[in-house]
Structure 1
Amino acid sequence: MSFTSYWFSLVFLPLSVYAYHRFFLRKHDNLLLPLALSLVFYYLNDAQNLPLFCAMMGANWLLAGAIARNREKKIYLALAIAGNLCVLGFYKYAKFFVAPGTSVSALPLGISYFTFTQLAFLIDTARGQARKTNPIEYALFVAWFPHLPSGPLLSHKDMLPQFMAAPGTSSSLRPLPRDYAVGITLFSIGLFKKSCISPIFHHVQGNVFLRASQGDPVGLLEAWIACIGFLFETYYDFCGYSEMAMGISRMFGIHLPVNFHAPFKSSSPVEFWTRWHITLGAFMRDYLYRPLTQKRQVWRHYTALFVVMMAVAIWHGATIPLLVFGIYQGLLVTGNHLLRRFNIISRKGGILQHWAGRIFTLVAIAFSVSLWATPDWKTAAHIIASLLGAGEEPPWAIGSLGISIIACAIAFNWLSPSLIDLMADDLPKWSMPLKKKKEHYFSWKSTPAWAIAVATALSLALINLSGVTEFKYAGF
């Protein structure tokens, strides 16, 4: 029962919202109801791995207590990190070490997201930066169901205060009428992106990657269209999910962080990775990059950037193309920082640098799709050769429809405000890592025009729901 099922949209979500607001009282111990909803959601999606999920939450809560109470924090923390990473590594990478034809346990729903969320809590507990929680508060923080299938990663600093509001006070757990309107808008447009827009870019790719895997010739232009199409498909799929998760949570009075903020407006690779999967970037920055750069030598800075990009690549999967993807992105990001360091490009720049940077960033990231979207090095090398014009197929062997769709998508993403920009006034400041805020003529308001637009988006999304595939990052 994923977010893109009729059961979720028309049954589970409405009944959950009704039950929550019908029976939830302003008492601290009634966190049991939202926790129960989250565990029921997990059971309906992955009943087989619910015991593992609960066991990991219980073990990590006990480990956090042990870390907080004992002087030998580093020993307990090392054991906790090793245990969590072993479980994560077993489920994500066991298939690479078993004999062909051997069955491997299914990946538990959201294992990366709830593992990283708990690792951050354990590390901050050792640093003395995490507040003490009881088992119910901790379990609700980890298991809060909107973020489970595909994120975003949650920070205890942002989330626990929302779940731990004092009894009898005006809590964020008591949504206002405007919260329903904001939540429905985010959910509806996110679902529209997933069910109506993302499939367009899947269709644009055609069978290019399949042909490449079979060794068939691929032309220059169709290779670029396929790679850019894959990039846009992934964006609208993942961004759509993130906005749906924000919207669902908002209907319960809980704010989730922004996970995508108009990444195609980026004028450099560094900026792109601060706008794409923002919560994963924040996790890598706080718990990998900063510990590696405590001693402020310049070489540590560039080494840490490489390590971070390699970690992101390995998180996606342990294949040769993805390892090369990590190296490629590491070179892009470190090269970007070097150009800034020697003042070859500036952080602000002029309009020429801004637009040249946008073009370069789109081309550079789209080129890396050849490593990201392919399962093996042979296929990746075939796509790379075609992207560089070395393919055997005539370079322009492609219809005009795909070119037109990609051109319109690029123009739209470069020139129009994103949904997050339009709704910035109704999102908490802590959830907006990019502080540039600009008023737009079409900024979201609770008006009839917006109501009609949202109702239309939701209707079209529901009509197309039967043919929608699962989220690309579901269960990651």
Structure 2
Amino acid sequence: MSFTSYWFTLAFLPVSAYAYRRLISKNQLHLLLPLLISLVFYYLNDAHNLLLFCASMGANWVLAGVIAKNREKTSYLALAIAGNLCFLALYKYAKFFVVPGTAIPALPLGISYFTFTQIAFLVDTARGQARSTNPLEYALFVAWFPHLPAGPLLSHKDMLPQFMAAPGATSALRPAPRDYAVGLTLFAMGLFKKSCVSPLFLHAQSDVFLRAGQGDPIGLIETWIACLGFLFETYYDFCGYSEMAMGISRMFGIHLPVNFHAPFKSSSPVEFWTRWHVTLGAFMRDYLYRPLTKKRQVWRHYAALFVVMMAVAIWHGATVPLLIFGIYQGLLVTGNHALRRWNIVSRKGGWLQHWAGRALTLAAIGFSVSLWATRDWHQASSIMLGLLGAGNGSVWPISFLSPILILAAIIFNWFAPSLIDLMTKELPAWSVQLKKSTTSTLAWRPSLAWAAAVAIALCLALINLSGLKEFKYAGF
């Protein structure tokens, strides 16, 4: 029962939100009811792994208690983290462990997201930054259903205070009419991106990746269009999901963090990775990069950046192209920092640097799609040759619609405010990069114009739901 199914949109979500609104005032239900809704959602999506999911939460809650009582003994934390990572690796890289001919087990729903969320809680417990919680509070924090299929990663510092608010007080646990309006807007616009916008870029890719895998000729322009098409398709798919998750959660009075904030406005690779999959970047910063750079040597800084980008690549999969993707992104990010350090590139920059940076960043990220979207080195190398004009195909593609679509997407993403920009005032400060927000006269407000726009977007999205593929990052 995906977010993009009629069962979820027209039955599960409205029924759950209504029951929550009617029953949340009961003191004994203010934790149990949303937890029950979350576990029912998990059961309907992945019944076979529900007990495994609950066992993971139970084991980590016990481990957090042990770590809290033995903070001076780092071995407890190390063993807990190792256990979680082994659990994750066992499923994500099962093909390397199972006997040939044996069926590979399916990934439990949201395994990366609930595992990383729990690792962060364990580390913060060892640091003395996380308070002890009762089992219901902890389970609700980890299992809160809008984030399960594809994130975002949750931080206990932001989420637990919302779940633990007194049900009788003016708190996030008591959704107000404005919460429903904001939530429905985020949900409708996110669903529109997934069902109406993302498929356009799937079609723009044509059969370029298939032909590259077969060793057929591919041309310069069509290969760039295919790679940028894949990039925009992934963006609208993943960003659409993230905004839907925010909207669903808001209908229950709970704020989720922003996960995408206009990444194509970035004028450098460093900025791009602070706007794309924001919560994964924050996790890597807090629990991998910073521990590696406690000593302030410059070489540690660059080495840590490489380790972070390699970790992101391995999380996506253990293939040769993805490993090279990690090295490539590591070079981009460390090179960007080096240019800043040597004052070759200014942190602020002028008009020319800003727009040249946007174009170069888009080109650099677009080129990396050759490593990100391909299944093996043969296909990846063919795409890279095509991007360099050595793919032995005609320079200009037959269709003019795809280039126009890509050009329109670039212009729109460069100049138009994002949905997060338009709704910044309705989101908590901790979830929005306020310094990167764009002000606009179109900012969201409860008005007839916005209601009409949301209604049209929702209707168009519902019309296009049938036949939609699952979110690209579902189950990661």
Do both proteins adopt the same fold according to a TM-score greater than 0.5, normalized to the shorter chain? yes
Match of 2:408, as an amino acid? C
Asked whether the equivalents of residues 302 and 334 of structure 1 are also in contact (C-alpha less than 8 Å), the reply is: yes
Q: Any idea what SS the aligned residue of 2:440 has?
A: coil
Alpha-carbon offset, residue 446 of structure 1: 0.5
In structure 2, the CA distance between the partners of 1:38 and 1:252, relative to structure 1 (3 Å rule), is: same
- 2:269 corresponds to 1:246: no
Alpha-carbon offset, residue 70 of structure 1: 2.2
In structure 2, the CA distance between the partners of 1:7 and 1:167, relative to structure 1 (3 Å rule), is: closer
Asked whether the equivalents of residues 34 and 140 of structure 2 are also in contact (C-alpha less than 8 Å), the reply is: yes
Alpha-carbon offset, residue 167 of structure 1: 4.9
- For structure 2, list consecutive stretches of 5 or more residues without a partner in the other structure: none
Match of 2:109, as an amino acid? L
What residue is the counterpart of 2:346 in the other structure? 346
- 2:464 corresponds to 1:464: yes
What residue is the counterpart of 2:262 in the other structure? 262
Aligned-partner Cα distance in 1 for 2:60–2:54: 10
Q: Any idea what SS the aligned residue of 1:252 has?
A: coil
Match of 2:259, as an amino acid? N
- Number of residue pairs the alignment of both structures matches: 476
Asked whether the equivalents of residues 309 and 326 of structure 2 are also in contact (C-alpha less than 8 Å), the reply is: yes
What residue is the counterpart of 1:227 in the other structure? 227
Asked whether the equivalents of residues 110 and 148 of structure 1 are also in contact (C-alpha less than 8 Å), the reply is: yes
Alpha-carbon offset, residue 397 of structure 1: 3.0
In structure 2, the CA distance between the partners of 1:256 and 1:71, relative to structure 1 (3 Å rule), is: closer
Asked whether the equivalents of residues 313 and 322 of structure 1 are also in contact (C-alpha less than 8 Å), the reply is: yes
Aligned-partner Cα distance in 2 for 1:65–1:350: 52
- For structure 1, list consecutive stretches of 5 or more residues without a partner in the other structure: none
What residue is the counterpart of 1:73 in the other structure? 73
Alpha-carbon offset, residue 332 of structure 1: 0.2
Aligned-partner Cα distance in 2 for 1:304–1:463: 47
Report runs of 4+ in structure 1 exceeding 6 Å deviation. Answer: none
Alpha-carbon offset, residue 89 of structure 1: 0.3
Aligned-residue CA RMSD (Å): 1.0
What residue is the counterpart of 2:415 in the other structure? 415
What residue is the counterpart of 1:285 in the other structure? 285
1:1-400 to 2 correspondences below 5 Å: 1-25=1-25, 27=27, 30-400=30-400
Aligned-partner Cα distance in 1 for 2:387–2:82: 41
Match of 1:424, as an amino acid? T
In structure 2, the CA distance between the partners of 1:220 and 1:97, relative to structure 1 (3 Å rule), is: farther
In structure 2, the CA distance between the partners of 1:12 and 1:23, relative to structure 1 (3 Å rule), is: same
Alpha-carbon offset, residue 436 of structure 1: 3.3
Q: Any idea what SS the aligned residue of 1:186 has?
A: helix
Aligned-partner Cα distance in 1 for 2:61–2:410: 46
Asked whether the equivalents of residues 25 and 168 of structure 2 are also in contact (C-alpha less than 8 Å), the reply is: no
Asked whether the equivalents of residues 209 and 374 of structure 2 are also in contact (C-alpha less than 8 Å), the reply is: yes
Q: Deviations over 1:54-87 (max 9, x none)?
A: 0000000000000111254312111110110010
Alpha-carbon offset, residue 100 of structure 1: 4.4
Q: Deviations over 1:74-114 (max 9, x none)?
A: 12111110110010000000113445442111000000000
Q: Any idea what SS the aligned residue of 1:467 has?
A: coil
Match of 2:350, as an amino acid? G
In structure 2, the CA distance between the partners of 1:121 and 1:200, relative to structure 1 (3 Å rule), is: same
Asked whether the equivalents of residues 220 and 395 of structure 2 are also in contact (C-alpha less than 8 Å), the reply is: yes
What residue is the counterpart of 1:475 in the other structure? 475
Match of 2:64, as an amino acid? A
Alpha-carbon offset, residue 166 of structure 1: 3.0
Aligned-partner Cα distance in 2 for 1:123–1:160: 16
Alpha-carbon offset, residue 394 of structure 1: 1.4
Asked whether the equivalents of residues 417 and 438 of structure 2 are also in contact (C-alpha less than 8 Å), the reply is: no
Q: Deviations over 1:308-338 (max 9, x none)?
A: 0000000000000000000000000000000
Aligned-partner Cα distance in 2 for 1:168–1:36: 20
Match of 2:361, as an amino acid? T
Q: Deviations over 1:337-381 (max 9, x none)?
A: 000000001011000000000000000000000000000000000
Asked whether the equivalents of residues 422 and 444 of structure 1 are also in contact (C-alpha less than 8 Å), the reply is: yes
Asked whether the equivalents of residues 167 and 174 of structure 2 are also in contact (C-alpha less than 8 Å), the reply is: no
Q: Deviations over 1:259-292 (max 9, x none)?
A: 0000000000000000000000000000000000
Aligned-partner Cα distance in 2 for 1:380–1:444: 42
Q: Any idea what SS the aligned residue of 1:279 has?
A: helix
Q: Any idea what SS the aligned residue of 1:435 has?
A: helix
Alpha-carbon offset, residue 435 of structure 1: 2.2
Q: Deviations over 1:114-157 (max 9, x none)?
A: 00000000000000000110000000000000000000000000
Q: Any idea what SS the aligned residue of 1:346 has?
A: coil
Q: Deviations over 1:142-190 (max 9, x none)?
A: 0000000000000000000000113532221001100000000000000
TM (norm. structure 1) is 0.99
Q: Any idea what SS the aligned residue of 2:436 has?
A: coil
Aligned-partner Cα distance in 2 for 1:228–1:381: 17
Match of 1:295, as an amino acid? K
In structure 2, the CA distance between the partners of 1:4 and 1:421, relative to structure 1 (3 Å rule), is: same
Alpha-carbon offset, residue 395 of structure 1: 1.6
Aligned-partner Cα distance in 2 for 1:95–1:471: 22
Q: Any idea what SS the aligned residue of 2:93 has?
A: helix
Aligned-partner Cα distance in 2 for 1:72–1:185: 47
What residue is the counterpart of 1:441 in the other structure? 441
